[in-house]
Structure 1
Amino acid sequence: MDLESYVARTRSGPCFVCVFLAGDPDYAHATVFEDADHVAFLDRWPTVPGKVLVAPKVHVEHVVRDLDEQAYSRLMLFVREIALAVEAVCGPERTYLYSLGSQQGNAHLHWHIAGLPPGVPYREQQFHALMTEHGVLALSPGQAASTAVRLREAVVARGVLNTG
């Protein structure tokens, strides 16, 4: 991963979620699950196995102000179900849920779901485990597709979310 190019792209390029949803091949991600309002997809540069991003399909930028109570609740239920799938497939010691981005880059609201693998030394957990500066996992397209399928199967097996 070229961190400088990534930062430049996030700050001056198009909205990565919107162009991904529009099918732009330069912004392709392996889709885990989607319904009418939300999409879950694998992080292109994961720092832990099975790292997933979840976003509303509509371009909103603020996690609190831009969603009414019902939309926020539906999004958080979607996040929870995807996180439970990550736990079922990856067996993490802890699951981190966080929303990043700002008006300066990656503005489209999205949640990160990152399962901390068991046995990671404490000094390498939390923010350290999430920072691309400490390295990313290299997944082939086939590995990413297989992971997405396993996660999708775990979501479907729970039966809480409906496809859109």
Structure 2
Amino acid sequence: MLLVRRVALAMEEVCRPERTYVYSLGSQQGNAHVHWHVAGLPLGVPYEQQQFHALMAENGVINATPQEMGAFAARLRRALNSPP
């Protein structure tokens, strides 16, 4: 959980979302596992749409080139590695 929190804080530093949602998914059926999602809510989303807006692909997804995603990953890595 400490690592998930650090990742969420780094994402907030890089993306500056209005709010950040951290949640886990998983199942004991089939391939038992758990994984974490860190989802930033974009600025300006009306309050009544906020709870699941950041999680719904129909509200938009990042359409970035591999180079843009690499630059984003580098910024995220720098934020993650900087002292708290």
TM-score range, shorter chain: 0.7 to 0.9
Could you say which structure has the higher helix fraction? Answer: 2
1:108 to 3, 11, 33: 33
Q: Which runs of 4+ in 1 moved over 4 A?
A: 103-107
Identity %: 63
- CA shift digits 1:36-87 (9 cap, x unpaired): xxxxxxxxxxxxxxxxxxxxxxxxxxxxxxxxxxxxxxxx000011111011
1:88 to 7, 13, 20: 13
Distance (Å, rounded) in 2 between the aligned partners of 1:105 and 1:120: 36
Could you say which structure has the higher strand fraction? Answer: 2
- Contact residue 40 and residue 54 of structure 2 kept, 8 A: no
Cα distance change on mapping 1:118 and 1:135 into 2, 3 Å: closer
Q: Could you tell me the TM-score, scaled by structure 1's length? A: 0.45
Deviation at 1:136, TM superposition (A): 2.1
Distance (Å, rounded) in 2 between the aligned partners of 1:107 and 1:143: 34
Deviation at 1:92, TM superposition (A): 1.2
Distance (Å, rounded) in 1 between the aligned partners of 2:28 and 2:59: 25
Q: Could you tell me the TM-score, scaled by structure 2's length? A: 0.82
Gaps of 5+ in 2: none
**Rg: which structure is higher?**
1
Gaps of 5+ in 1: 1-75, 160-164
Deviation at 1:104, TM superposition (A): 5.4
